[in-house]
Amino acid sequence: MMTTILMTVAPRSVEWSPTIGLIMVVCNILAIAFGKLTIKNPSVGPAMPSSNMFGGLSLGAVLGTTALGHILGAGTILGLSYIGAI
């Protein structure tokens, strides 16, 4: 009984495509740029191996900004699929 209720409430998912991947990449780049501009001490902590690729951000800053980028990307993908744009 409970499983059928949960399955009817579950949102529809979108099949992966290059468009979905591009949206996620763009959202992560935007989040890294936003983090670079707004984090008070972006280079405090362990450094990334190629830190110039990540705007000189530390490991913690990159993990935080990419987590934000994935949240933004998931919301964008779900929103665009809901309105039928993708």
Q: Which domain holds residue 59?
A: 17-83
- 25 inside domain: yes
For 16-45, what is each residue's pLDDT tens digit? Answer: 899 999 999 999 999 989 988 998 887 788
- 77 inside domain: yes
pTM above 0.85, yes or no: no
- 3 inside domain: no
Tell me how far apart the alpha carbons of residues 58 and 44 are, in angstroms, rounded to a whole number.
6
Tell me how far apart the alpha carbons of residues 58 and 43 are, in angstroms, rounded to a whole number.
5
- 66 inside domain: yes
- 11 inside domain: no
- 7 inside domain: no
- Collapsing DSSP to helix, strand or coil, 70 comes out as helix
| 50-71 mean pLDDT | 86
| 43-58 mean pLDDT | 78
**Count of domains for the chain:** 1
What residues contact 55, with CB distance under 8 A and at least 6 apart? 32, 33, 36, 42
- 43 inside domain: yes
Helix then strand then coil, in percent of the chain rounded to 5, is 65, 0, 30
